[in-house]
Structure formats: structure tokens, C-alpha cells
Amino acid sequence: MRSILNRLFLAIALVISSIAFSQAQEHDHTGEATTQHEGEAPVEKGKFKVGDMIMHHIKDDHGWEFAHGVTLPLPVILYSADQGLEVFSSSRLEHGTVYNGYKLDHGKIHRVNAAGTELDDAKFYNFSITKNVASLLLSAIIMLLLFPAISRSYIGNRGKAPKGAASFLEPIILFVRDEVAKPSIGPKYTKYLPYLLTLFFFILINNLLGLLPGAANVTGNIAVTLVLAVITFIIVSFSGNKHYWMHIFKPSGVPLALLPIMVPVEIVGVFMKPLSLMIRLFANMTAGHIIILSLLSLIFMANSLGGMMTSVAISPVVMVFTIFLNLIEVLVAFIQAFIFTLLTAMYIGSAVEDHHEADHGIGYEPAEAH
């Protein structure tokens, strides 16, 4: 096992060193600027811009860049009243090229005239498959292929020990059921368990995919975390019983004079719960990517300040810290999926429980525990 780990660390060190060497050739210390292409981080004369490089890697784009110079063009799908539905490759908009009256500028498609000037009054709808959308589809395909296969495996091996992927995922599934759904929701947990499992594995798979080189930062996109939070908000709102809504609009034990203060606070709390879910997942996953990219930026900064050999010399040190942070990020990927699922289960439990005398989210205890 130790020899395998040593080989792994050596391979990663060689990869990072080679990246440093190739990038150092592009940002040579003579101060000459390289040609800036559409969608690439701009490079000024003799200066490496860390912020632009980081934003280039964590933001969404119309092409999927796996490595420098290796980009997979994605479909651009546009609809306008005058030109109808248009579908073409994003490669037609590379390097600021105008195609069919459209131009890609800083990751956003604009309608332009023959001179290349943006038309402010032009309206069109963008249904393009961007990098984040493609990664979402990839994670959906993984789940649709993986979990039906596990289900068939359980049916075919009923009464026997699970095999393959089922043996690996069974403890995780049982953990979500026994340690998240049951204590937080109570006897009605079976109704919400499929959603909680889908939520957990969706977040976990996208968190792990986001750690791969060239991968999309899906769970670090606030639009994605917003949708997940809104779905949870809808489920909680429609699952709420009369005790839940009475606790919000007429809390028991609160003097009548304090109701004008407490009721608005409770209403704000209803919306703050999904808001906290959205921001927590987005902020934690984005922060992890930024820290790792900032560490890797030290290689290119060293090249700008001290030359190519300096960047190659510090790359092993950067590699050690980067590997350590990547291992931390793997742990964070599981933790964030767990926290999002746990809080969702607690919010659902507070909406479906029969009494709210003490507080929201009173845990469910099995009968034998009493």
C-alpha cells in the first residue's frame, strides 16, 4: 500500500512539474505577452493575473476545457423571433468571431450587428449546453446507470451479501436512512427517503467530479445550489401540517403584544433556511477550488518573478500542499453532502411532526428507546 501511495505522489509531482514547465514557456520572463484567446485568462506584459486565472477555471463556459489547449466545443442553442431556432457548435464563436450575428464575449453570447457592435434591443433566448449543464447531465447519467443496476443486484441476490458497487454504497445508503432520515423526520421518513438519497448522492457525485482536473464547478455555482434549496423549500412548505404553520403565525406561549415581532421573525426564518442551504454549499465548494488554484498560481507567479527554473523548483512544494488540500476537499465533499441532506431532513421533520411546543426539528426516537 505504501509503495502504491509513493508511486501516486510521484506521478502527481511529475504532472504538476510538467504543467509548470509548459506554462512557464508561455509566460516567459522577457516580458512578452502571449496571445489572448476568447475565454482564456488575460496575460499582461510580464505579469500573471491570479484572479483572472481563478475565475476562468471556476466559472461556467460554452466550451469544456480539459487542459490548456484541449477544449471540447459544446452546443449553442439560441432562439429569437426573427431568426428562429439556431443550433451550432461553440467553436464557431471562438476568438471573438461573429457568427450569424452572435458574438461570445467573456463567456456570454451577445447579438451584434455587421460591425460587431452589441445590439442592446435584440432579444433572444439562450438554451445552450454549457460546461456546468454538461456536467449536470453527466452526473445524472451516472446516477441513472448506477442505482438501477444496484437495485437489480439486490433483487437478483436477495438474501445474499451485496457485491460490487452495491457492497460499497450499502453502508452509505443505510447511514442516510438510519442516521439522517429516521432521527430527523420520524415515522414518516419513508415518504421522503428517496428524495434525501437522491439529494445526497447528487451533491456528492458533483462534488467529487468537481475535484477532477478540468472538471466543472457545478456545486460551486450558486444557480445550482439555489435550485436545490428551492426544491427543499417547496417540499417543506407543502409537507407542513397545521402545527407547523400555527407555530409560525401564532406561536404558542407568546404574549399577544409580542406577536407583531415574533411572526415576522418566524416568516423570515422560513426563507432563511433554504437561503442558508444555498449559500453554505456554494461558499464551501467555491472556497476550496479557489484555495487550490491559488496554490497552483504560485508556480506561475514564481515564473513571472524569477524565471522558469524558479517555478520548476517550487513545484514539488506546491504539489505537497495541493495534494493535502485535495484530500481535505474529498472529505469536504462528503461533509457538505451530509450537511445539506441532514438540514433538509431536519426542516422536513419540523414541518411534519405533530407538536412544536419546544422547537422545530425535535428528533424521532424509536419506541424501544423509551
Report the C-alpha gap between 336 and 331 in whole angstroms: 9
pLDDT in tens, 212-231: 888 888 998 999 999 999 99
pLDDT in tens, 158-204: 777 777 777 888 889 999 999 999 999 988 899 999 999 999 999 99
SS3 string, 219-284, reads CCCHHHHHHHHHHHHHHHHHHCCHHHHHHHHCCCCCCHHHHHHHHHHHHHHHHHHHHHHHHHHHHH
In angstroms, the Cα distances linking 161 to 52, 147, 150, 151, 167 are 51, 17, 13, 13, 8
pLDDT in tens, 13-58: 444 444 444 444 444 433 343 444 444 444 444 566 777 777 777 8
Does residue 88 or residue 315 have the better pLDDT?
88
| AA letter at 302 | A
Residue 56: per-residue pLDDT: 73
pLDDT in tens, 321-365: 888 888 999 999 999 999 999 999 999 999 998 765 444 444 444
Return the top range by mean pLDDT from 72-76, 154-158, 336-340. 336-340
Residue 344: per-residue pLDDT: 96
pLDDT in tens, 253-298: 778 888 888 889 889 989 999 999 999 999 999 888 888 888 888 8
Q: Residue 355 corresponds to which cell in the numbers above?
A: 407538536
Q: What is the mean pLDDT of the chain?
A: 80
Whole-model pTM: value is: 0.79
Q: Where are the alpha helices (DSSP H) in the chain?
A: 2-26, 50-58, 131-156, 165-175, 182-185, 189-209, 222-239, 242-249, 259-306, 308-352
Please calculate the CA angle 179-187-364 and round it to the nearest 5 degrees: 55
Residue 15: per-residue pLDDT: 46
Report the C-alpha gap between 282 and 143 in whole angstroms: 22
